């Protein structure tokens, strides 16, 4: 970076102005804490030259640099996105003191893509990954300091190696493990920062012949949160010894049978969060129907589970039977996401086989799950998840012929919801029941991208919100995802025209813009957000601001300062900003959000 000549008088003036800034009068400890909060507000790095706030802070002035270097937690997250060596990781680890480390290896990042042929060579990726782990240990990041390990790659051999490495290595502080064979998967690490007083110890063990060797006696006593995404069966089976006594589990992998899944879940009775995404995976015989007595025997009790998500894009019979063996009466956040094809529809909506709507609405009586062998005509009536308050629902069918009844049955299972994320098909089913769900006040609504559906969707949600308002049960917060978000935001001012709003409410049908104006007049907080290319019910739930703050992971390859110059040049650092104004504006914007 070319420095601009500064004359002594000008330098003195700039130093004086810099010191008068309110933020530069804060103690170093407080400024460092603010920088740490800002860092956790940054998104996950998506490019090779991504810059974290701590990297920028070291280039602002001496005060900011001192604050950043005096805050070891700022440097405890290591992001790897290119082949060895890793001087940036070395610098981060040297500045992290004795803090526990969060390590993320993204083998689909641009740094790997730029290596000729590497992205097509899974074995080369696996080799580089092991080299990277050894280097991290050599730099001082011994496995005794690892708090989390996130690995994303399309290389099956790499994930095999990572699984075996974790299984064989002493990582006593490991709390979070995420292995994903999908580069688009976004990990949701949720943790509280640890105190930086942990002692380092020797790290990486030599490779052994397999996961069942004598080196497999190391425990991971603090491991509580595991994510496994699209792993091949051979890799998934290697992870099974690690999946016990967890509190959080996210699973999107092949499993051989309902019996094996029942056993896996039974070894995790302390689960508080469970997400299962069957997706393109499933079990051996996808259309196998177990007899009801067998399903009864496979049931497992998860009394601490409060957050449950089940996604079934294919293999519906497998997924629906899985739902029926989970006894979780204390779930408060529920996501159901599945479609129903012609082959499964009869089974799913046959009352004699405990259809999903019937099961959700009537499966529990006096707090106890009823046996699936009881004929439906003889059962009592009680929702399977009686405490659900936040519901994300996305259920579709090859035919709409059964949906009205299914909608009514499904919604009857969740009378106490306060938050709902869904689309206009489900809102349509609620139009004639504005008094139902009296506690509902927060909705996240998905508008289909097709032009013909936009008007129908917005008219439906506007009609429902109006009906709720007339019933004395107003919706206070509404988030709408659409591709026309910027256009609809321009209509907010028109909602202040009371005569215009009154004219609109007298109509039986609304035009698209009329629906938006009406919504602005009826809802306390109306937010339009751009529809993402791959929009999911989970992202709607996540963006509903009902999730905890997500901890982020750090980048180690975007550092612009050479590690040999760790102390910096005081005269130069006092001159004030040495980067683009847009970067300082970015920091100012983040501070403004605190």
CA distances from 460 to 339, 410, 453, 509, 515 (A): 22, 19, 10, 9, 9
Residue 28 has pLDDT above 80, yes or no: yes
Q: Confirm whether 412 is domain-assigned.
A: no
367 burial via Cβ count (<10 Å: 0-12, 13-18, 19+): exposed
The angle that helices 581-592 and 28-41 make with each other, rounded to 10 degrees, is: 90
Instruction: Name the token pair of 38.
Output: 């800002």
Q: Do residues 477 and 335 share a domain?
A: no
Of 408, 407, 379, the residue nearest 394 (C-alpha) = 407
pLDDT for the residue numbered 201: 30
Band of the pLDDT at 22, cuts 50, 70, 90? Answer: confident
In whole angstroms, give the CA distance from residue 146 to residue 110: 25
Q: Do residues 378 and 267 share a domain?
A: yes
pLDDT for the residue numbered 109: 54
pLDDT for the residue numbered 536: 38
The answer to whether 82 and 557 have CB atoms below 8 angstroms apart is yes
Strand-pairing partners, residue 422, are 445
Q: How many structural domains compose the chain?
A: 4
In whole angstroms, give the CA distance from residue 293 to residue 246: 28
Query: Considering the chain, what is the average pLDDT of its residues?
Result: 75
For residues 187-215, average pLDDT: 37
Band of the pLDDT at 45, cuts 50, 70, 90? Answer: low
Residue 211 has pLDDT above 60, yes or no: no
Q: Confirm whether 534 is domain-assigned.
A: yes
pLDDT tens readout for residues 327-386: 999 999 999 887 655 445 555 554 445 567 777 887 787 778 888 787 766 666 788 899
Q: Do residues 444 and 342 share a domain?
A: no
Q: Rounded to a whole number, what is the distance in angstroms from the first to the last CA of the chain? A: 31
Q: Confirm whether 410 is domain-assigned.
A: no
Instruction: Name the token pair of 585.
Output: 């504006």
pLDDT tens readout for residues 135-189: 999 999 999 999 999 998 888 888 888 888 888 888 999 999 999 886 444 444 4
3-state secondary structure of 9: helix
Supply the range of the domain harboring residue 310: 243-272+284-388
pLDDT tens readout for residues 513-530: 999 999 999 999 999 998
Q: Do residues 215 and 334 share a domain?
A: no
pLDDT for the residue numbered 300: 94
For residues 16-23, average pLDDT: 75
Q: Confirm whether 126 is domain-assigned.
A: yes
Q: Confirm whether 365 is domain-assigned.
A: yes
Greatest mean pLDDT range, 408-417, 560-569, 572-581:
408-417
pLDDT tens readout for residues 233-253: 777 777 778 888 999 999 888
User: Which residue reads 């107003």 in tokens?
Assistant: 474
pLDDT tens readout for residues 420-475: 998 877 788 888 888 989 999 999 998 887 776 888 889 999 999 999 999 999 99
Q: Do residues 132 and 175 share a domain?
A: yes
pLDDT for the residue numbered 314: 62
Instruction: Name the token pair of 477.
Output: 């917060």
Strand-pairing partners, residue 309, are 275, 335
Of 403, 362, 366, the residue nearest 384 (C-alpha) = 362
Who contacts 266 (Cβ-Cβ below 8 Å, separation ≥6)? 300
Q: Do residues 83 and 225 share a domain?
A: yes
Residue 568 has pLDDT above 80, yes or no: no
pLDDT for the residue numbered 54: 83
Helix residue spans in 117-187 (DSSP H) = 122-138, 156-168
Which of 372, 388, 404 is where one domain is finished?
388
Q: Do residues 59 and 81 share a domain?
A: no
The answer to whether 25 and 63 have CB atoms below 8 angstroms apart is no
Residue 265 has pLDDT above 80, yes or no: yes
The answer to whether 357 and 393 have CB atoms below 8 angstroms apart is no
Residue 405 has pLDDT above 90, yes or no: no
Q: Confirm whether 357 is domain-assigned.
A: yes
User: Which residue reads 């991290």 in tokens?
Assistant: 136
User: Which residue reads 């949720």 in tokens?
Assistant: 190
pLDDT for the residue numbered 142: 94
Who contacts 246 (Cβ-Cβ below 8 Å, separation ≥6)? 223, 224, 225, 226, 268, 270, 271
Residue 550 has pLDDT above 50, yes or no: no
pLDDT tens readout for residues 110-133: 455 544 444 457 788 888 888 999
For residues 275-284, average pLDDT: 66
Q: Do residues 174 and 319 share a domain?
A: no
Residue 545 has pLDDT above 50, yes or no: no
pLDDT for the residue numbered 237: 74
The answer to whether 309 and 278 have CB atoms below 8 angstroms apart is no
CA distances from 217 to 74, 170, 200, 305, 439 (A): 33, 9, 20, 30, 51
Residue 9 has pLDDT above 60, yes or no: yes
pLDDT for the residue numbered 459: 92
Q: Do residues 446 and 500 share a domain?
A: yes
Q: Do residues 85 and 226 share a domain?
A: yes
Residue 577 has pLDDT above 80, yes or no: no
The answer to whether 550 and 43 have CB atoms below 8 angstroms apart is no
Q: Do residues 176 and 54 share a domain?
A: no
SS (H, E, C) 380-405: CCCCCCCCCCEEEEEEEECCCCCHHH
Q: Do residues 252 and 330 share a domain?
A: yes
Of 528, 453, 544, 432, the residue nearest 485 (C-alpha) = 528
Q: Confirm whether 399 is domain-assigned.
A: no
């Amino acid at each position: 970076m070319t420095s601009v000549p500064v004359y002594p008088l000008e330098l003195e003036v700039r130093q004086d102005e810099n010191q008068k800034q309110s933020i530069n009068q804060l103690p170093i400890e407080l400024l460092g804490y603010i920088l740490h909060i800002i860092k956790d507000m940054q998104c996950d790095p998506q490019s090779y030259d991504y810059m974290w706030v701590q990297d920028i802070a070291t280039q602002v002035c001496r005060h900011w640099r001192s604050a950043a270097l005096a805050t070891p937690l700022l440097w405890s997250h290591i992001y790897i996105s290119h082949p060895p060596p890793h001087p940036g990781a070395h610098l981060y680890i040297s500045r992290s003191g004795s803090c526990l480390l969060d390590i993320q290896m993204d083998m689909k990042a641009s740094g790997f893509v730029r290596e000729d042929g590497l992205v097509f060579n899974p074995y080369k990726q696996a080799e580089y990954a092991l080299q990277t782990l050894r280097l991290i240990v050599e730099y001082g990041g011994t496995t005794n300091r690892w708090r989390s390990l996130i690995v994303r790659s399309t290389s099956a051999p790499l994930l095999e190696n990572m699984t075996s490495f974790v299984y064989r290595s002493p990582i006593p502080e490991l709390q979070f493990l995420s292995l994903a064979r999908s580069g688009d998967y976004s990990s949701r690490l949720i943790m509280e920062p640890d105190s930086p007083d942990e002692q380092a110890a020797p790290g990486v063990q030599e490779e052994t012949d397999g996961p069942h060797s004598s080196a497999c006696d190391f425990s991971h006593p603090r491991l509580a949160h595991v994510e496994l995404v699209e792993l091949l069966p051979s890799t998934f089976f290697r992870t099974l010894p690690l999946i016990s006594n967890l509190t959080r589990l996210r699973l999107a992998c092949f499993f051989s049978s309902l019996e094996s899944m029942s056993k896996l879940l039974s070894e995790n009775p302390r689960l508080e969060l469970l997400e299962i995404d069957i997706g393109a995976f499933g079990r051996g015989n996808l259309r196998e129907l177990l007899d009801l007595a067998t399903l009864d025997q496979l049931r497992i009790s998860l009394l601490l589970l409060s957050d449950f998500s089940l996604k079934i894009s294919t293999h519906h019979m497998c997924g629906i039977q899985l739902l029926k063996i989970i006894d979780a009466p204390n779930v408060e956040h529920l996501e159901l996401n599945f479609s129903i094809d012609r082959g499964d529809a009869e089974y799913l909506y046959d009352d004699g086989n405990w259809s999903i709507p019937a099961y959700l609405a009537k499966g529990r009586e006096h707090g106890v799950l009823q046996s699936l062998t009881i004929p439906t005509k003889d059962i009592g009536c009680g929702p399977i998840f009686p405490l659900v308050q936040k519901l994300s629902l996305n259920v579709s069918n090859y035919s709409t012929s059964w949906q009205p009844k299914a909608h009514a049955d499904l919604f009857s299972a969740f009378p106490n919801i306060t938050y709902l994320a869904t689309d206009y098909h489900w809102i349509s089913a609620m139009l004639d029941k504005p008094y139902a769900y009296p506690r509902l006040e927060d909705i996240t609504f998905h508008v289909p991208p097709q032009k013909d559906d936009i008007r129908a969707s917005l008219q439906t949600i506007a009609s429902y919100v109006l009906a709720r308002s007339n019933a004395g049960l107003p919706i206070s917060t509404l988030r709408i995802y659409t591709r026309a978000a910027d256009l609809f935001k321009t209509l907010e001012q028109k909602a202040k025209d009371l005569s215009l709003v009154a004219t609109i409410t007298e109509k039986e049908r609304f035009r698209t813009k009329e629906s938006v104006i009406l919504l602005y007049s009826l809802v306390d907080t109306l937010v339009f957000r751009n529809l993402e290319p791959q929009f999911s019910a989970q992202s709607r739930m996540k963006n509903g601001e009902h999730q905890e703050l997500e901890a982020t992971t750090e980048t180690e390859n975007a550092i612009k300062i050479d590690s040999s110059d760790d102390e910096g040049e005081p005269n130069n650092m006092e001159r004030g900003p040495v980067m683009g104004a847009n970067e300082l504006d970015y920091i100012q914007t983040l501070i403004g959000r605190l």
